Amino acid sequence: MNYFQMEATKEDLSKMSNLSLAYLGDCVFELMVRSFLCLEKKTTSNKLHKAALQFVSAPAQANLAKDIIPLLSEEEGAVFKRGRNAKVNSIPKMAKREEYQLATALETLFGWLYLQGNTSRINELFTIMLSMED
């Protein structure tokens, strides 16, 4: 098994919990943000951390997620909704419920795409989100 280049089946993905997909998708999203920031020449770990917070908080992820919703395929939209409707036990103090649900939906989608090995689609969506922030 190559854990860096996954190729899970649709059946495997349908059996996986929404929050497991979101858990993995959170890591995928953060890795992309960190890669982007390092390439942007942020020089210290403190500057990198502060810059990353502008992307990885639930409110920030919710805003980014809104940009890509109209661009999702039917299947991606269903996964996004699956993540948005996931039952969570707690919401961070700095986020509203709707923001947290959208952030979880984005993470679920990224986890789902990653487990299929569809990193090109993740990159495409991430690039679109970054371009909308300019």
From 12, 26, 67, 134, active-site residue: 26
- Which ranges of the chain does DSSP label H, i.e. alpha helix? 10-15, 18-39, 45-56, 58-68, 74-84, 97-115, 119-133
- Which among 60, 68, 126 has a CA at the least distance from the CA of 95? 60
Q: Is 134 a catalytic residue?
A: no
Q: How many CB atoms lie within 10 A of CB 19?
A: 17
Active site residues: 26
